[in-house]
Amino acid sequence: MTELGATILLTGGAGYVGAATADALLAAGYQVVVLDNLSTGHVESIPNAASAQTGDYGDSNRVEQLLHTARIDAVVHCGAKSIVSESAEQPELYFNVNVQASINLLDAVRNAGINAFVFSSSAAIYGAQPALYLGEDLPPDPINPYGATKVAFELALRSYAEASDLRAVALRYFNVAGSTDRISERHTPETHLVPRLLHAAQSGEPFELYGADYATPDGSALRDYVHLSDVAAANVAAVKYVLKDSTKSGYAAVNIGSGVGTSVKEAISAVERSTKRTINVQIKPRRAGDPPRLVADISRAASLLGWKPRQSEITRIVRSLLT
């Protein structure tokens, strides 16, 4: 199957990253079939031009039937549970949904004879490593069950690819933030930094900054923030890659980030400038396990996928959430 005119099954297409990816795939000329159980996604986020199916990606019989009837050429697997704190409280839920159900999906994909697969992984697989820039060849060292589930399915995906004609890419997203013209952050509870800062600026409620004495330029922790539209573009680039020459099997893990460290204080300043409001910052002690710096090495994304971030500067991310 050549890439032009391909039909893509997109799991989790009613979610934040999934819906933006659906828009980007459609804009690139693909046909899109969304599969989402709507447990956390929003049906109105699914673009009208996509075909939508309500259901679980772990239902292998139904998925296999859908793969045949919709004549799917490639799968983009964005569906997952993704709240770190919830994963610590309910690890069994996270392993069932993120690992077992994903393996069921992968089995259905292989049974249907599809050999192109893109997986939404996470920088959570790295844990709290001291490297200046996190490269894909670092050994995984997750510090929470959510990260562990991403590692587990990456290992399964790599093993399937090595034993068959599967062509697979795992995209390790760093801190996805911002809005597209149509899709914005709607998490419950909201755990992401930038929308929490915007809420603090607009409500006057205090914002708790955990740790201001790290060995970083301003004492606050450095993180890598990547714009939602850049992540969606990375998914499209990965689809093109796995469909480009489907006769060649293989597996690749690829970081998707800005490649730039933004401190919490820099994010606070960006929100204050953009909203013209002052945030009531309350400095708290460091949280156990929080590393001072987590920044992506994104050179593989450029060399393998021809992708680079275009909208991931922190002020641009903030302003996209205000428009």
Catalytic residues: 146
**What kind and span of H or E run contains 266?**
helix 264-275
Q: Given phi > 0 = left and psi -120 to 50 = alpha, else beta, which region is 61?
A: alpha
C-alpha 245, offset from chain centre: 25
At position 89, the amino acid (one-letter code) is E
At position 226, the amino acid (one-letter code) is V
Start-to-end CA distance of the chain, whole Å, equals 40
CA distances from residue 46 to 33, 40, 59, 122, 320 in whole angstroms, order as listed: 10, 13, 21, 23, 20
User: What are the phi and psi torsion angles at 148 (to 5°)?
Assistant: -65, -35
179, 144 in Cβ contact below 8 A? no
The residues near 244 (Cβ < 8 Å, ≥ 6 apart) are 3
48, 23 in Cβ contact below 8 A? no
**What kind and span of H or E run contains 177?**
strand 175-177
61, 116 in Cβ contact below 8 A? no
228, 182 in Cβ contact below 8 A? no
